[in-house]
Amino acid sequence: MEVLRMKNIEKQINSRHILQIPELILHHGERIGIVGSNGVGKTTLLRMIIQEDIDYKGMITVNGDIAYVPQVKEIRDGSGGEISLKLLKEAFSSRPSILILDEPTSHLDQHNVQWLIHRISKFDGTIILVSHDRFLLDNIIEKIVFIERSQIGVFKGNFTEFENERNQIEEQCWKNIAQYNNEVARLTKELENKKIRSKKISKKSSNRISNSDWKARSKMGSYDSQEKAMAKSAKAIEKRLSRLTAPSRPSPKTQIKFKTISSTLEYSSNTMIELKESKLSTNFIDLYIPQIKMRFGEKWLLTGRNKSGKTTLLKSIVNQEIDGYFSKGLKIGYFSQELNTLDQDKTLFDNIYETSSHNKQLIINFLAMLDLKFDKIFVPFGKLSGGEQVKGQLASVLLSDSNFLILDEPTNFLDITSLNALEKFLLSYPGSILLVCHDTYFQERLHFKKLCILNNNLLLEDYFED
């Protein structure tokens, strides 16, 4: 049974097409994942479906009631997970025909993500999900609706299957381009050879006439016919060249190489941070800390339930308010959703360049990988959207002159393109990293050493995996 039909949809903002949908039909019980870069119109599409946005051309028909859970934005007191859970539970309790979820896992820990997957699996109606969480998209989604350059496409399968299909298409595009270039080169060379031979025949013909008139006349027809045949052949090649159509070219994948930073360390081969066995106590937590050494180049992942003390632990390390040793050569770069240290009046590029040892082109390339293009990075930082400012703040930390990155939930509010860029950066980064992240797919791709806060204890991987 049809639950949603969109027909001849045109949505514009400031005379610019945001969405153009000839037709989209969804059926009862389907699990739909909507994907695309930040700003392509995913949330706009949801708002049109629930009729919060009616400024569009075309027709949207909905059969059944809708429950909508909007994205919970940055919450400074750390209650984003609680608010998200409350909204999700209320939506499921209403038993709607269509459940629309906009980035529901942004503030959820892994335990609550598993709870959400379980609830969705038991839900009888249609799910429409906007998410950057690839674990969620793989485990519950059976159809992908992707938005690109204001157009939509539909793919049957989960996100990994969709990505594999796209990669195969891109690979075939590059093969087609190589074949096209080879064919152009071959025909161009053949055409050049024909022209050279034609000139030689023409020269022989004129020489024969000047040397011996009667002999030239006897061979004149032969040279004329050869020259005409050569010209005809050359014209045929030119026609074939003109008919060749260049294949569409995929966007090139930017590869960046980061400046080595080990030589800037006073003790690059030794311990960067060593936490002593102690207790970290605040008004909210009483956390046992074992002895832990973090050496240069080591990369650590810290996990734990919401409000277990992860952010408190990170802040105590950043501010060196915890018992332990901190290397004289230590330079910490700290990212948190709560912080915004960039000058609002300066451009994003200038903010980053002033504190980075990387060259201008690398900075521009990396910002492009985060989907921050020229029209964004050279305007005052304060004029960027909230999501763009989060990306800019993250980029300023990643590209700073730090040698130890401490990152608190950097994956929140990033689209999948930006997540891929962040993944590549962290894997190639030559310094040390301490990362807090709830994104299961992201964690599995990184293979970092693991720490976990469990029952008020900070545990090393060997202990919490037993």
Q: Report how far residue 89's alpha carbon sits from residue 116's, in angstroms, rounded to the nearest whole number.
A: 9
Q: Is the pTM of this model over 0.75?
A: yes
Task: Indicate whether 113 and 223 sit together in one domain.
Answer: no
Q: What is the dihedral of CA 316, 322, 327, 332, to 10 degrees?
A: 0
Q: Are residues 283 and 404 in the same domain?
A: yes
- Per-residue confidence (pLDDT) for residue 267, from 0 to 100: 43
My answer on whether 234 and 273 are in the same domain is: no
Q: What is the pLDDT of residues 418-448, one digit of tens each?
A: 888 899 889 989 899 999 998 999 999 998 9
Number of structural domains (the chain) is 3
Distances (CA, A) of 159 to 105, 120, 122, 388: 16, 17, 21, 24
Q: Is residue 356 part of a domain?
A: yes
- Is there a domain that residue 459 lies in? yes
Instruction: Give ∠ CA 93-98-99 in degrees, rounded to 5.
Output: 55
Looking at the fold, whether 78 and 23 belong to one and the same domain comes out as: yes
* pLDDT at residue 255 in the model: 54
Do 343 and 446 have their domain in common? Answer: yes
Q: Is 169 a member of any domain?
A: no
Q: What is the pLDDT of residues 305-316, one digit of tens each?
A: 988 999 999 999
Residues contacting 420, CB < 8 A, separation 6+: 369
* pLDDT digit string, tens, across residues 133-165: 999 999 999 999 999 889 999 999 999 999 999
| Residue-wise DSSP of 265-290 | -TTTTSEEEEEPSEEEE-SS-EEEE-
- The answer on 190 and 49 residing in a single domain is no
Q: Can you give the CATH number for the domain in which 60 is found? A: 3.40.50.300
Q: Are residues 385 and 442 in the same domain?
A: yes
Spatial distance between the Cα atoms of 75 and 81, rounded to a whole number of angstroms = 9
Token pair for 126: 């249609």
Residue numbers of the domain that contains 279 = 262-464
252 domain-assigned: no
Q: What is the pLDDT of residue 253?
A: 59
End-to-end C-alpha distance for the chain, whole angstroms: 48
pLDDT value at residue 130: 94
Tell me if 276 is assigned to some domain: yes
C-alpha 371/C-alpha 421 separation (Å) is 9
In a domain, 176, yes or no: no
Coil, strand or helix at 458 = strand
Q: Which residues of the chain have pLDDT under 50?
A: 211, 214, 219-220, 260, 262-268, 466
Q: From residue 237, how far is each of 26, 189, 230, 234 by CA, in Å? A: 50, 10, 11, 5
- Contact call for residues 110 and 438 (beta carbons, < 8 A): yes
Assess whether 236 and 153 both reside in one domain.
Answer: no
φ, ψ of residue 215 in degrees (nearest 5): -70, -40
Q: Do 25 and 81 share a domain, yes or no?
A: yes
What per-residue confidence (pLDDT) applies to 123? 95
